Every structure is written in C-alpha cells, then in structure tokens.
Structure 1
C-alpha cells in the first residue's frame, strides 16, 4: 500500500514543522507549504488520487483557507480537507463544513485528534469513490449525507443543527432516516458503514 500523502498548508513555521513531523511519525508522506498559493502551484486537481488529504489553517495572509477551498472547488477538486483553526474562527470553520470540508479542529488539539480527523476524511473519500458502501450511501438524500458527514466528524446534534441551519429535531429525524436506509441500529454500526468498514 502506498503512503498516504498529506498536504499541509499553514503560514506559522513552528506549527507547520511540528505538525509535519507528527504526521511523518504517524506514517504519512507530508508536503508542507507556507501559503495556499504555494500549494496551488504544485497541486494538480485532475490527478488527485486515493490516499491524499489537505490539512489547512483557515486564517492566513494573502489567501485564506476558505479562499483556498473555494479555488479547489472551482477546479473541481474532491481532495478531502481538514481545517485547523483558532477558537475565534469557528464561524468560518462552520462555513467551510457547509462547503464540504471533512472536519475542523480548534487549536490546540491533541495529536490523536488530528490523525483521527485525517483518517476519517480519507475513509469517507474512499467510500465516495465507489465501494459497496458508496452504493449504500447513494440512497441518502443530499441533506442526510451532510448530516452523516458531520456525525462521522464527531459533531453533536446541536452543532450539526447550527452548521446546517436546521433544528435539532430535524437533525434527529435525518439521523433516524439514514440509519433506516443503511440498515444500521447504532452509532458504531453507522460509523462502520460511513467509514467503509461495514
């Protein structure tokens, strides 16, 4: 199995270096960039393969993480994206989730939290690429799929409701519907199907 490649974009040299070291120690191949523009000069969205993920800061000079996300979407990229953000940037991170980011982590976060977020993003990307689980997930409505992605990202119902601009009751209804469609009875079973282990 080829090494998973992580693209790391953060303008803070110390954070970028320590995070790259952490990810390399965890077995990932890391390519680090000080800006979104530097990353875009080498990233070919038409050649995004299995086993690649972008980890990006949200607040950066010149090109923010959200602007980078917008440019990737404009190019038709499906690269899984995990944002890391300072506490005050949570509303921006919510916007990023609405646009399809896999997760966001508030700094400071644990090493395990980052590695888990990347693995979850990669697993969902593989499922969406056409496995049997992908066929099962195709039964879900777009809104149910959004709810599922946020459940997998470990967001509680209240946060999911805030991100999607719906009531907690509606989130609960979507969760019940998608569990029924996927033939699962518990959250662990749901996570297995969503992450391609079911």
Structure 2
C-alpha cells in the first residue's frame, strides 16, 4: 500500500515514549501517522489541514493534562469532526469507557495492549469508513443524517447510544434507521451492514 492509499492515523498522547513507539508500530503496519502531544495540537492541525479523502482515524489517550481525551472527543463532536476515534488508556475505568463509547468512540483499549489489537481496530475502523463513503448507494441515496446513523449502526452502536451521540431522540433514530433500510433495500440490520460495506447487493425496488 502506497502512502497515497494508506490510512492516516492521528495519534494523540502526552507520553513521548509511548507516542514514538506507537508511531513506529503503526508505520511498520502500513499506516501514515501524525503524532501530537496534546488534544490542542491535534485541533490546530485539523483547523489548518483540509480533508483529502484519505481514510483516517484518531487514536487518543484518555488521561492527559489540560485537555483529556473525553474533552477532546467533545470538542471534535462540537466542530462536526466525524473521524473514527479509538481510545487507549493505562487506567481501567468502566464508567469512563461506557461514556466514551456512548459518545461515539469506536473502541477503548487498555494499556499495555497487544500491538495486533490496535492494528486490527484501526484497520476495521478505517476500512469501514472508506467502504461506506465509497458506496454510491450510501452517498447518493441517503441524507447526511441517515449516513451518520448508518455509520454508527455499522460500528455496532445501539439506538440509545446513537441518539446520545447525535443529540436526537431514540424515536428519530428509529425513523432514520427505517428510512435508510428501505433506501438500501435491506431487510434487517445484518443486511444493512453487509450492503453498506459492499459485501451484498440490495433487495427490493426502492434503490432506483
């Protein structure tokens, strides 16, 4: 995979040693990595660097000075940044993990971790994001809000979590899910996921 095709990882961690070792690990696995010592540094970079269509994912520590990973997540949400987010942390904290996942994180990995776990999580997140954005059924048939709901469904989020992440009611989530299933010609959630990822052709006549 060339640099132009490789997924881009935005790595945020205040620990210099961990940040550099993880950068080497991910670059060796074929990712392009930009590393930041703080959430503020990442936000500054996002402000001045336009999106280029390359699949990307954020990997962030949770406990950092000045701006925690959760605070970074909240600021990214406020700015409308929809990149997949994976948290890593040395502090096992179930309520914190639940909050992070409820707010849209795609994974929560405890340090020290098996390097293959992080690599697999990143490949899954970036491959799913790339497949959904490249699927003409998704880009042409669904509204922006329906695409947001679809991405969260593919990530395995429940209706309540999707409602919390998007700031809408559960009833509205259910309506969007019903609409997107009809537009994609899917009969159940499993089919929605396979169709969205390009693994299956849609059913029915509502896809014209």
| Fold conserved between structures, TM > 0.5 | yes
The answer to whether the aligner puts 1:37 opposite 2:40 as a matched pair is yes
Matched with 2:8 is: 5
Q: Which runs of 5+ in 2 are unaligned?
A: 163-173, 201-208
Do the aligned residues in 2 keep the contact of 1:55 with 1:84 (CA within 8 Å)?
yes
The answer to whether the aligner puts 1:109 opposite 2:113 as a matched pair is yes
Give the direction of change, closer, same or farther, for the CA distance of 1:149–1:53 in structure 2 (3 Å limit): same
Of 83, 90, 97 in structure 2, the residue corresponding to residue 79 of structure 1 is 83
Matched with 1:70 is: 74
Q: Distance in 1 between matches of 2:89 and 2:185?
A: 33
Task: Count how many residue pairs are aligned between Structure 1 and Structure 2.
Answer: 179
Q: Distance in 2 between matches of 1:49 and 1:112?
A: 27
Q: How does 1:48-197 map to 2 (within 5 A)?
A: 48-50=51-53, 51-129=55-133, 131-132=135-136, 134=138, 146=152, 148-150=154-156, 193=195, 195-197=197-199
Report which of the two structures shows the higher radius of gyration computed on alpha carbons: 2
Do the aligned residues in 2 keep the contact of 1:10 with 1:60 (CA within 8 Å)?
yes
Q: CA RMSD in A?
A: 3.5
Q: Distance in 2 between matches of 1:143 and 1:76?
A: 14
Using the size of structure 2 for normalisation, the TM-score is 0.67
Do the aligned residues in 2 keep the contact of 1:55 with 1:81 (CA within 8 Å)?
yes
